Amino acid sequence: MLQDYLKAGYPAIVILTQEPARAEQILPIEGWNFYCWDCIRGIRPAKQATPVEEIRDPVMAINWLNNFQNRVLMAENLHLFLNIPEVIQSLANGVLRWKASGCCLVMVSPLLEVSPEVEKLFTVIDLPLPDTQELYNLQSELAQSVNGVEANPKAALAARGLTEFEAETAFSLSLIQKGYFSETIITEQKKQMIKKSGLMEFWPPTDIEDVGGLENLKDYVRNRAKAFEPGNEHLPKPKGILLVGIPGTGKSLSAKAIANILNWPLIRLDIGALKTSLVGASEQRMREATRVIDAFGSCVVWIDEVEKAFAGVKSSGESDAGTTANLFSHFLIWMQETTTPMIVVATANDVSKLPPEFLRAGRFDATFFVDLPHLEERKEIIKIVNRRYATSIPIAYAEKLAGWSGSEIEQLAQVYQTAPS
């Protein structure tokens, strides 16, 4: 992928990765002159330890590239120096020259933290995660040190989405605990990733039997769930369902029940919690969250009250340096491009507060308006709350409860439960 950009003459690229050492191993392309720089080791040919220039100063390192033709300089952690005016200026000057001289500065960085001055100069690409073959090879390497262990293609497949480091630790753990490469251990490690990321939480799904009414939604999910079954690869896979409606009508409840229908884990993504006050850090957290979801796969991603999360996208340029708008666009692009089997279920009270891009056709496969329950639905809800609270609200009350939401009927059950009979 980097090759295409280099051939096209891009002079400055940011490669986003947590694994600079792996970037150095896999990025250099045959026939191109790749060098690496960091502020301790200076400039050295890629994959070699001995420096050719003991340049520690970032400005001098950037300017070094001005003396050559057709060279690529991979700069590790250069983003840490992007608050220095001389660094910014040498980049801006350099980009003009490098275009003509076939050089390219590749900033290898774990986060996207480019100041507005240099933002336009850089093109951002993600370092691809190891593919199944690389993961399999990694197992083979590890297996060499242990007698009688063989690489397991299923465990390699299960490890997809992990970084090389994460996969290596998961494989090693599996060897220690089981003596072989176990798919189950890898999956368990992926669950740990979600927990450790601190960006998302597992939620227990709700039994679909506990949702009264909303038959259209249930039928839709049951029907579309078939697209995820083996042998149905030709069916289009739904990516998103939006549930809109007034409070207390069971939107959050349904989101949790959808996970139950699909028999997938439910992961709650709290966009508000992703936002930090550090410029660029929120975007980084969002990328990390979607990466972890991609790694995990086969899950329902629940975003509750999405209109609050993405409120003010339009004015975000003025209010929070564009952070909300960036989070929002990353999320939409990810939803569109990801090939991971997953469904985003978003709930909202007020669609008018949602940015129009969110509602554009094709983003969400279906939008359901969740209304106040009608008579039959109220009867069902009474049965459900009677069961849950061991109360005996007469089903006939459904007639009197027109205009009540599911949540209000639940409160009635709570009153019934505590009231002396």
Ligand X SMILES: Nc1ncnc2c1ncn2[C@@H]1O[C@H](COP(=O)(O)OP(=O)(O)OP(=O)(O)O)[C@@H](O)[C@H]1O
Binding interface with ligand X (CB under 6 A): 210-214, 247-253, 347, 349, 373, 381, 384, 406-407, 410
Positions of E strands within 161-285 = 200-203, 240-245, 266-269
To Mg ion, the closest distance from the beta carbon of 304 in angstroms equals 6
Residue where the block lists tokens 């994959």: 47
Amino acid identity at 335: M
In the complex with ligand X, the residue whose CB is nearer, 26 or 372, is 372
Q: Is 249 in the site for Mg ion (CB under 5 A)?
A: no
Query: Which of Mg ion, ligand X, none lies near 212, with the C-beta cut-off 5 to 8 A by kind?
Result: ligand X
To Mg ion, the closest distance from the beta carbon of 251 in angstroms equals 5
In the complex with Mg ion, the residue whose CB is nearer, 58 or 250, is 250
To Mg ion, the closest distance from the beta carbon of 257 in angstroms equals 13
In the complex with Mg ion, the residue whose CB is nearer, 162 or 242, is 242
In the complex with ligand X, the residue whose CB is nearer, 337 or 350, is 350
To ligand X, the closest distance from the beta carbon of 390 in angstroms equals 15
Site size with Mg ion, rule: CB under 5 A: 2
End-to-end Cα separation, the chain, in angstroms: 72
To ligand X, the closest distance from the beta carbon of 213 in angstroms equals 5
Burial of 245 (0-12, 13-18, 19+ CB in 10 A): buried
Kindly indicate which of the ranges 46-54, 183-191, 243-251, 289-297 contains the residues binding Mg ion, using the contact rule CB under 5 A.
243-251
Q: Tell me the angle at which helices 406-418 and 375-389 cross, rounded to the nearest 10 degrees.
A: 40
Candidates 17, 252, 282, 316: give the one binding Mg ion (CB under 5 A).
252
In the complex with ligand X, the residue whose CB is nearer, 81 or 368, is 368
CA distance 40 to 106: 18
Count CB neighbours of 231 within 10 A.
Answer: 7
Considering Cα of 229, then 234, then 238, then 239, what sign does the dihedral take? positive
Residue where the block lists tokens 């139950």: 260
**What's the chain's Rg over C-alpha atoms?**
26
Query: Which of ligand X, Mg ion, none lies near 410, with the C-beta cut-off 5 to 8 A by kind?
Result: ligand X
C-beta of residue 17 within 8 angstroms of C-beta of residue 110: yes
Query: Which of Mg ion, ligand X, none lies near 355, with the C-beta cut-off 5 to 8 A by kind?
Result: none
Q: Is 254 in the site for Mg ion (CB under 5 A)?
A: no
CA distance 147 to 232: 40
Q: Is 326 in the site for Mg ion (CB under 5 A)?
A: no
Considering Cα of 183, then 189, then 195, then 199, what sign does the dihedral take? negative
Q: By CB under 5 A, name the binding residues for Mg ion.
A: 251-252
